[in-house]
Chain A
């Protein structure tokens, strides 16, 4: 017995189950019931666990396209991570660029790597539950706008760069997603968001890597400057607020007011750096003056901003993005689980696993007998006799007179006698009838007319009688079988076509050229 506990299915398992259910669709329900109930009786656990155990039993090796699709997805995610990291490094190189003339503006660092990234956390709106999103104004607009620019949407385009097998596997997943758009929509959404967050985390790691590289291997000078008229004290208030998360255990990363004062620089006339007035010539003209001023300032203080920058980038850039990545992974897993539970055909599968299999049909192949065939090529000999003896087979419910007159009219033969055989008669009585008819024929040519109930099937007992009669009579004596139907008033007439065929077929199987079927006229309606 396999013991499986209920668990959250993976994306690969979702794809595999969906694929197997689709593969099972054209198969007969009975066949699926037998297969799945046998599995269902052996596995235990929750609903999902039993389904996954079922998958393990029915799937053949190499049948899964999910493996290739997952590999493709991992490659694409890896590409997004690499791109994100590269962009991050490039962005940090730009923002932290220092050519020795103008220090790195920490305001710019904060704006790009903290402020702008904080805005992008608006993507968290897309992660809110649908019920909450619907109540917030303009959420749809923001969501649509962000969705357009989401790096996660690059995934289909990136898949075109993959080898053919992996691209086809990825496309088949997308195709299935399109067919069941509303079912897989959430899975796709979270896959896109997961890709975006992976890109974002990599971007921030890249910015940190780039920043730390420059801090470690170059001599960066930091300052701060803004067009707005910000006093050092105001900036100190902002940095103190931003430093709250790490100030207690990493005080070096909280800029002091003296550092802020020491590193403030202005662009235009009337500005100053480190307390030095530049005389209003502007930064370009005052480059030399700025350089001289920078030279006079303690180099350590010019680099003192970097712990704060790194801490801010980690706390307000990388950390939220990491949290969102973790949330996206969790929500992706939940979406996969929900899509799994709602897969078309899954409810039927669980029913087949859990419901006792009731079988009532035969496991054996049926052996059908041949009823023979009407043979048009069988030679039919003419009836030359002018008289006949009638055998009322199996107690046809007609008086002898009614039977005689019907036969005379239909066959044009004069009736010598009417006798009975079959039905309630014993075998000995049948044999006596055969002997008597033979003796009568030997005295004068006779045809033997056997009147039968047309609605009763011609069984072997009748064939035996006719065959034994032929053996007694010899060849050349006409034996005429007349299947008779009875009307509502008991009047004799022609049989139904199906009954006539049945009797004709049986007679032809005997293969006796002097044995034939003749009919009475139709019963008037």
Chain B
């Protein structure tokens, strides 16, 4: 059994390509204000692991419908011969150049495609559409009319009255703003046009619902990984002992902020990619920190040691030396040698460690100061970042691929967080505490993904 094909036809500039873009989840479909953008049919097959489920065909708009209709009327055929007349029309004119658009759009219809006739419900109905509708009716193919409201005016009722005389099903469908459920409902309606198509379209709906659930999971993971990364990020700079750390604060803080913003941007792109939005232009204010004190300093020493390790090494070696003395004295020192040795070793490391930083070997210092900016410890920062991410996700998940406006994200991200229940909030608090205590992002990402996914699916 061949899979169903649906040809999206109609007058130019009525949103045919927008309908296709929305149903095919493809933001690369050319949607232009000028008529005549589409000059050739383009197929949008829905496949799952290569198996064809159904195909949408974007077609050029009618350009000479009245003339073509006049030609057909002149054939003086009975109703039973209407389709044959259309077939002859296409065969005769396909290569003549007289009716390039009509021939192009009628070929898939005559090959068995269902008709999806698109009109703009925000513009008044006009008799010039009737020639198109008559031609399509002569093909005898199952047909559905979509009233797509592009502008703000409402002439839907007039359109319904007219279209109902020509098409089996008439639906109102806002191609640019239709929510996900409305798109699935439309696919189910396609399946009602022909009994043999019903199974394929119902399967398509199931597949898209499963895919949506997987997308939500992937988006939650992308957000969780972004959040964990941002809460673990820091920047460091190795300074010489003579440097004043405060002189480096501004530059280091800028570097730290840029790292955070860049990670957030990558997170946004990842979520947009999950929903196949590759061309969206986004405007959003940059994330800001809430901490006042991000800086810390530590000593660094050759061999990659930090201060604690150097002190421990000093104590250990001092104890070993002292222990040797104890052994020499045959235990008479009551292990004071080890104790004193450890103390001397520790003191040497503590006080002498800073001397190490003054020494250079082959122009390389044996130590210095390590200035670190971040990670941010403010308790609310994770919620700020998460709120922004959920706001972006909410705006994006409901966006159709026909919507080419800028994705402007307002500074009101907290709406989604108010719906987080107290148990989830406690779990989030625990995760953020672990991250602040130094847990690695990968240690919490699974848990965080689950919590964020629950928030997303509850919206």
CB of B316 within 8 A of chain A? yes
- Could you say which residues of chain A place their CB within 8 Å of the CB of B164? none
Q: Would B211 and A183 count as touching, CB distance under 8 A?
A: no
> Could you tell me the distance between the alpha carbons of A142 and B50 in the complex, rounded to whole angstroms?
60
Could you tell me how many residues of chain A have their Cβ less than 8 Å away from some Cβ of chain B? 59
Q: Would B66 and A426 count as touching, CB distance under 8 A?
A: yes
| Chain A residue, CB-CB nearest to B153 | A488
Contact with B46, one of A153, A342, A358, A422 (Cβ below 8 angstroms): A358
CB of A24 within 8 A of chain B? no
5 tightest A-B contacts by CB?
A457-B35, A182-B440, A424-B127, A145-B316, A369-B39
Least distance between B172 CB and chain A CB atoms (Å):
19
Contact with A141, one of B23, B124, B312 (Cβ below 8 angstroms): B312
CB of A397 within 8 A of chain B? yes
23 contacts between A and B (CB under 8 A): A29-B273, A30-B278, A145-B312, A153-B303, A227-B330, A228-B330, A357-B48, A359-B48, A361-B28, A364-B43, A367-B42, A368-B32, A371-B36, A395-B128, A424-B130, A427-B70, A428-B70, A453-B126, A456-B13, A456-B128, A459-B36, A460-B63, A461-B64
> Could you tell me the distance between the alpha carbons of A149 and B316 in the complex, rounded to whole angstroms?
10
Q: Would B130 and A498 count as touching, CB distance under 8 A?
A: no
- Could you say which residues of chain A place their CB within 8 Å of the CB of B28? 361, 366
CB of B94 within 8 A of chain A? no
Since A351-B214, A360-B24 are in contact, a sample of 18 more A-B pairs with Cβ atoms closer than 8 Å, ordered by chain A residue number, is: A148-B303, A149-B313, A182-B443, A355-B214, A358-B48, A358-B208, A360-B25, A360-B26, A361-B25, A369-B36, A371-B32, A395-B127, A422-B128, A427-B67, A456-B123, A460-B63, A460-B64, A502-B35
- Could you say which residues of chain A place their CB within 8 Å of the CB of B36? 369, 371, 457, 459
Interface string of A181-216 (1 = CB under 8 A from B): 011000000000000000000000000000000000
Q: Is the interface of B mostly helix, strand, loop or mixed?
A: mixed
> Could you tell me the distance between the alpha carbons of A52 and B25 in the complex, rounded to whole angstroms?
32
Q: Would A145 and B315 count as touching, CB distance under 8 A?
A: yes
CB of B76 within 8 A of chain A? no
Within 8 A of A (CB), among B349-408: none
Q: Would B37 and A368 count as touching, CB distance under 8 A?
A: yes
Contact with A461, one of B49, B65, B303, B443 (Cβ below 8 angstroms): B65
CB of A70 within 8 A of chain B? no
Least distance between A282 CB and chain B CB atoms (Å):
18
- Could you say which residues of chain A place their CB within 8 Å of the CB of B225? 344
Q: Would A394 and B126 count as touching, CB distance under 8 A?
A: yes
- Could you say which residues of chain A place their CB within 8 Å of the CB of B276? 30, 361
CB of B161 within 8 A of chain A? no
CB of A144 within 8 A of chain B? yes
Within 8 A of B (CB), among A465-508: 498, 502, 505
> Could you tell me the distance between the alpha carbons of A456 and B123 in the complex, rounded to whole angstroms?
9
| Chain B residue, CB-CB nearest to A143 | B312
Task: Bin chain B's interface residue count.
Answer: 35 or more
Least distance between B231 CB and chain A CB atoms (Å):
13
* CB-CB under 8 A for A183 and B440, given A141-B312, A145-B313, A457-B35: yes
Within 8 A of A (CB), among B14-54: 23-26, 28-30, 32-40, 42-50
Q: Would A426 and B70 count as touching, CB distance under 8 A?
A: yes
CB of B309 within 8 A of chain A? yes
Within 8 A of A (CB), among B105-121: none
Within 8 A of A (CB), among B200-230: 207-208, 211, 214, 218, 221, 225
Among the interface residues B26, B123, B330, B442, which one has the most CB atoms of the partner chain A within 10 A? Answer: B442
* CB-CB under 8 A for A362 and B43, given A144-B313, A461-B66: yes
> Could you tell me the distance between the alpha carbons of A227 and B327 in the complex, rounded to whole angstroms?
10
* CB-CB under 8 A for A368 and B30, given A355-B214, A356-B49: yes
Q: Would A459 and B63 count as touching, CB distance under 8 A?
A: yes
Q: Would A348 and B221 count as touching, CB distance under 8 A?
A: yes
> Could you tell me the distance between the alpha carbons of A358 and B211 in the complex, rounded to whole angstroms?
8
> Could you tell me the distance between the alpha carbons of A457 and B35 in the complex, rounded to whole angstroms?
6
* CB-CB under 8 A for A362 and B12, given A148-B305, A424-B130, A461-B67: no
> Could you tell me the distance between the alpha carbons of A274 and B443 in the complex, rounded to whole angstroms?
66
> Could you tell me the distance between the alpha carbons of A296 and B38 in the complex, rounded to whole angstroms?
115
| Chain A residue, CB-CB nearest to B120 | A455
Least distance between B119 CB and chain A CB atoms (Å):
12
Interface string of A432-473 (1 = CB under 8 A from B): 000000000000000000000101111111001000000000
- Could you say which residues of chain B place their CB within 8 Å of the CB of A228? 330
Q: Would B35 and A458 count as touching, CB distance under 8 A?
A: yes
CB of A129 within 8 A of chain B? no
| Chain B residue, CB-CB nearest to A183 | B442
| Chain A residue, CB-CB nearest to B439 | A182
> Could you tell me the distance between the alpha carbons of A356 and B50 in the complex, rounded to whole angstroms?
9
CB of B322 within 8 A of chain A? no
- Could you say which residues of chain B place their CB within 8 Å of the CB of A348? 218, 221
Least distance between A43 CB and chain B CB atoms (Å):
14
| Chain A residue, CB-CB nearest to B443 | A182
Interface string of B275-319 (1 = CB under 8 A from A): 010100000000000000000000000010100110011011000
Q: Would B38 and A369 count as touching, CB distance under 8 A?
A: yes
Q: Would B26 and A502 count as touching, CB distance under 8 A?
A: no
Q: Would A361 and B309 count as touching, CB distance under 8 A?
A: no
- Could you say which residues of chain A place their CB within 8 Å of the CB of B124? 397
> Could you tell me the distance between the alpha carbons of A55 and B66 in the complex, rounded to whole angstroms?
60
- Could you say which residues of chain B place their CB within 8 Å of the CB of A395? 126-128
Within 8 A of B (CB), among A103-124: none
| Chain A residue, CB-CB nearest to B56 | A360
Least distance between B337 CB and chain A CB atoms (Å):
15
| Chain A residue, CB-CB nearest to B40 | A367
CB of B274 within 8 A of chain A? yes
Interface string of A285-302 (1 = CB under 8 A from B): 000000000000000000
CB of A331 within 8 A of chain B? no
- Could you say which residues of chain A place their CB within 8 Å of the CB of B211? 358
| Chain B residue, CB-CB nearest to A460 | B63
- Could you say which residues of chain B place their CB within 8 Å of the CB of A456? 11, 13, 123, 126, 128
Q: Would A369 and B37 count as touching, CB distance under 8 A?
A: yes
- Could you say which residues of chain A place their CB within 8 Å of the CB of B101? 460
CB of A423 within 8 A of chain B? yes
Contact with A459, one of B35, B273, B330 (Cβ below 8 angstroms): B35
Q: Would B30 and A366 count as touching, CB distance under 8 A?
A: yes
CB of A136 within 8 A of chain B? no
* CB-CB under 8 A for A427 and B309, given A148-B316, A362-B24, A505-B34: no
| Chain A residue, CB-CB nearest to B229 | A344
Q: Would A41 and B49 count as touching, CB distance under 8 A?
A: yes
> Could you tell me the distance between the alpha carbons of A463 and B269 in the complex, rounded to whole angstroms?
45
- Could you say which residues of chain A place their CB within 8 Å of the CB of B442? 182-183, 342, 344
CB of B61 within 8 A of chain A? yes
> Could you tell me the distance between the alpha carbons of A461 and B64 in the complex, rounded to whole angstroms?
5
